[in-house]
């Protein structure tokens, strides 16, 4: 009997139920208790027939949802299987090591078995949880169509005899097929949370930690591209260093990055310059601003740097006059307005990568002289520095600058090792052991909690599609 | 005799029995309703029987149509959803 036959039998049973309902409806009995079954049977049969007809659609929807996980059921089976094998191998290695060491006179064997104690503690729970998850996944993977057809058949038996069982079976398969591919994500999520929570709790000495992001800006709103931002703790001397990205933002996000509460001095390193922001003294958390932009970084802290203009690509203009207005006329011409004392000497630095250079336009309202130029390298980026001394007859002169770039490419500095420099927390020898045990228990807990979520959802679906007392396949 | 045949035979039998019972119920209903007795409850019961019988006969008559409609609807939903997802 193939599966199509099962579905046809189920549909025929629906037809039978329907006519049975009609028959009961027209019985010449004045008893309401019996005749009440008439409409119920008719309704049931139509509902069951509809459900069976759209069964392929339901399975399709289930597959569709599972496809978002990026795993197939076969891959999940492989994943759990690999985990079980890894557990076995670790167990064998541990036991064989202990066995060999116990041959040597002395207490080496017991010493090593002491070391492996945290692993053995969680081994059985891990294997049990993996095996249960594996069996469920295998069942859904290999018996999907058979069990769904069987469910449909049970569902369409007249007088609601198999309705609970049928609905429960269909729900189990549909939900299992949709949910089980998410198992690796769930395990990873729980293990990362446990692990980072533990690391955080032992590494921050009971100080609260904050995750934040912010934007580094110059005058006119331009951003540095690929800079470094340093947070120096003024009391403990810890230095936290983060990358300011291509978009001018720095992101101190969970789980591995954070700033502990405290007061900091902040500076920005860009193109070989150390730039001090206007608000370079910050107190965390007092100066943080709560935002909802990112889940893993609830706070925002922006920095702006005075008298400094950041231009694309990788050009900085700095001056000791007070720049108060910057307008970008075109891609190769900008004007600055500066506040200064007339006939006093000022200087301006133009720093760029070696693709670009800047000249002062002759229509500028200043007298100037190029005082010097230099070349250097900043973290792999060739940097050109030009110093210009100038003076003006006006107190608010307009300075026009022409840009010449042979390429608008941004040279990415090598900042790979510069992510963050936490003070190294004082780990004790027990911390890795505790973490190992936590991960072992966490893994089993992740699997069991996933299975119980799966149970709850399939029970609810069974109730939705018509089971009054839904049961699950592996319920005792 | 396969299982499908068994169920089909059963269905056919139930349909014929149902037609028979329809006539029976309908007659009994009219009999009670038209009986020359002054009990309003008996007459009401007769009325109910006639009504039930007529409704049931209606459902009986359109039985195959109803299932055709259900399968048409289900097919329509399935086809349109799946083709929508394939193309979009």
CATH number of domain containing A273? 2.60.40.1120
Which tokens belong to A428? 């004790």
Contacts of B61 in chain A (CB under 8 A): none
Beta pairing, strands A212-219 & A303-311: parallel
Contact present, A243 and A260 (Cβ < 8 Å): no
In whole angstroms, how far apart are CA B14 and each of A3, A45, B61? 27, 15, 13
For residues A249 and A327, membership in a common domain is answered with no
Contacts of A22 in chain B (CB under 8 A): 18, 56, 59-60, 63
Distance from CA of A177 to the nearest CA of B (A): 18
Separation between Cα atoms, residue B82 and residue A189, nearest integer Å? 32
Question: Is residue B63 in a domain?
Answer: yes
Question: Is residue A452 in a domain?
Answer: no
Which residues, including other chains, have CB under 8 Å from residue B26's CB and lie 6 or more apart? B49, B50, B53, B54, B57
Contacts of A59 in chain B (CB under 8 A): none
Q: How many domains does chain B have?
A: 1
Share of chain A above pLDDT 70, in %: 94
Residue A156 CB coordination number (10 Å):
27
For residues A220 and A278, membership in a common domain is answered with yes
pLDDT at A401: 86
Contact present, A305 and A318 (Cβ < 8 Å): no
For residues A252 and A338, membership in a common domain is answered with no
Contact A27 B15 (CB under 8 A): no
What is the layout of strands, in order, in the sheet containing A333-339? A322-330, A333-339, A398-405, A356-360
pLDDT at A393: 85
E runs forming strands in A122-248: 209-210, 212-219, 227-233, 239-244
B9-44 per-position pLDDT tens digit? 999 999 999 999 999 999 999 999 998 988 888 899
- Print burial letters for A122-133: b (CB count within 10 Å at least 16), e (below 16): bbebbbebbebb
In whole angstroms, how far apart are CA A87 and each of A90, A120, A305, A448? 5, 10, 55, 17
For residues A300 and A318, membership in a common domain is answered with no
Contacts of A56 in chain B (CB under 8 A): 78
Which residues, including other chains, have CB under 8 Å from residue A387's CB and lie 6 or more apart? A347, A348, A349, A370, A371, A372, A373
Nearest to A152 by CA among A135, A165, A142, A141: A165
For residues A290 and A332, membership in a common domain is answered with no
Contact present, A474 and A172 (Cβ < 8 Å): no
Residues spanned by the domain of A9: 1-53
* Per-position DSSP letters for B23-55, written without gaps between them: HHHHHHHHHHHH-S---HHHHHHHHHHHHHHHH
pLDDT at A21: 93
Considering A289, A305, A321, which residue would you say is the last residue of a domain? A305
Contact present, A242 and A259 (Cβ < 8 Å): no
Share of chain A above pLDDT 90, in %: 31
Q: How many domains does chain A have?
A: 3
Question: Is residue A269 in a domain?
Answer: yes
Q: Which residues pair with A281 in a beta bridge?
A: A265
A195-242 per-position pLDDT tens digit? 877 776 666 555 677 888 999 988 777 888 888 888 888 887 778 888
Contact present, A7 and A149 (Cβ < 8 Å): yes
Which tokens belong to A49? 């027939």
Question: Is residue B7 in a domain?
Answer: no
Question: Is residue A58 in a domain?
Answer: no
Q: How confident is the model at residue B88 (pLDDT cuts 50, 70, 90)?
A: very low
Question: Is residue A42 in a domain?
Answer: yes
On the 0-12 / 13-18 / 19+ scale of CB atoms within 10 A, A261 is middle
Choose among A9, A12, A25: nearest Cβ to B56.
A25
A279-328 per-position pLDDT tens digit? 889 998 888 888 888 877 889 999 988 888 888 788 888 888 888 888 88
Residue A420 CB coordination number (10 Å):
15
ipTM of the complex: 0.87
Distance from CA of B59 to the nearest CA of A (A): 7
Q: Which among A22, A39, A153 is the top mutation candidate for probing chain B, defined by the most B β-carbons within 10 Å of its own β-carbon?
A: A22
Choose among B57, B63, B81: nearest Cβ to A18.
B63
Question: Is residue B4 in a domain?
Answer: no
Residues spanned by the domain of B37: 13-87
A84-113 per-position pLDDT tens digit? 999 999 999 988 888 888 888 777 777 777
Question: Is residue A298 in a domain?
Answer: yes
Three-state secondary structure call for residue A28: coil
Separation between Cα atoms, residue A267 and residue A245, nearest integer Å? 15
Question: Is residue A90 in a domain?
Answer: no
Has residue A476 got a pLDDT over 50?
no
- Sign (positive/negative) of CA torsion B71, B73, B75, B77? negative
pLDDT at A79: 94
Choose among A9, A27, A46: nearest Cβ to B21.
A27
**Ramachandran quadrant class, A246 (left: phi over 0; alpha: psi -120 to 50; beta: rest):** alpha
């Amino acid at each position: 009997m193939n599966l199509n036959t099962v579905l046809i039998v189920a549909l025929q049973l629906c037809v039978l139920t329907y006519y049975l309902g009609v028959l009961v409806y027209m019985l010449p009995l004045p008893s309401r208790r019996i005749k009440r079954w008439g409409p119920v049977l008719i309704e049931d049969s139509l509902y069951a027939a509809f459900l069976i007809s759209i069964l392929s659609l339901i399975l399709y929807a289930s597959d569709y949802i599972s496809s978002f996980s990026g795993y197939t059921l076969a891959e999940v089976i492989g994943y759990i299987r690999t985990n079980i094998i890894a557990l076995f191998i670790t167990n064998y290695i541990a036991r064989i090591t202990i066995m060999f060491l116990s041959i040597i006179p002395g207490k080496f064997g017991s010493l090593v078995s002491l070391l492996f104690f945290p692993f053995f503690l969680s081994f059985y729970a891990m294997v049990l949880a993996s095996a249960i998850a594996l069996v469920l996944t295998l069942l859904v993977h290999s018996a999907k169509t058979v069990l769904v057809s069987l469910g449909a058949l049970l569902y369409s038996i007249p007088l609601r005899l198999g309705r609970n069982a049928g609905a429960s079976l269909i729900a189990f398969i549909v939900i299992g097929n949709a949910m089980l591919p998410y198992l690796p994500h769930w395990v990873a999520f729980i293990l990362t949370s446990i692990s980072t929570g533990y690391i955080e709790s032992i590494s921050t000495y009971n100080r609260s930690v904050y995750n934040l992001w912010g934007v580094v800006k110059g005058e006119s709103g331009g951003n540095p591209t690929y800079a470094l931002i340093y947070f120096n703790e003024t009391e403990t001397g810890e230095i936290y260093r983060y990358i300011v990205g291509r978009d001018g933002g720095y992101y101190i996000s969970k789980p591995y990055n954070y700033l502990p509460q405290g007061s900091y001095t902040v500076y920005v390193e860009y193109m070989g310059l150390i730039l001090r922001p206007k608000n370079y003294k910050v107190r965390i958390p007092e100066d943080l601003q709560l935002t909802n932009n990112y889940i893993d970084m609830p706070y925002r802290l922006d920095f702006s740097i005075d008298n400094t203009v950041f231009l694309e690509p990788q050009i900085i203009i700095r001056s000791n006059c007070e720049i108060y207005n910057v307008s970008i006329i075109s891609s190769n011409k900008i004007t600055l307005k500066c506040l200064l004392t007339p006939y006093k000497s000022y200087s301006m630095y133009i720093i760029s990568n070696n693709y670009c250079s800047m000249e002062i336009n002759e229509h500028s309202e200043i007298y100037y002289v190029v005082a010097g130029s230099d070349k250097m390298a900043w973290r792999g980026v060739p940097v050109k520095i030009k110093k210009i001394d100038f003076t003006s007859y006006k107190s608010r002169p307009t300075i026009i600058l022409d840009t010449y770039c042979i390429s608008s490419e941004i040279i990415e500095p090598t900042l790979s090792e510069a992510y963050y420099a936490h003070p190294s927390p004082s780990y004790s020898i027990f911390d890795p052991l505790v973490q190992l045990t936590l991960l072992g228990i966490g893994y089993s807990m992740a699997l069991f909690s996933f299975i119980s979520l799966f149970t709850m959802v399939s029970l609810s679906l069974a109730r939705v599609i018509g089971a009054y007392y839904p049961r699950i396949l592996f319920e005792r | 005799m396969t299982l499908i045949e068994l169920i089909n035979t059963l269905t056919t039998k139930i349909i014929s029995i149902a037609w028979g019972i329809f006539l029976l119920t309908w007659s009994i209903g009219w009999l009670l309703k038209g009986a020359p007795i002054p009990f309003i409850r008996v007459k009401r019961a007769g009325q109910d029987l006639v009504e039930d019988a007529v409704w049931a006969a209606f459902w009986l008559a359109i039985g195959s149509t109803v299932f055709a409609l259900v399968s048409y609807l289900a097919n329509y939903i399935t086809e349109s959803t799946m083709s929508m997802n394939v193309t979009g």
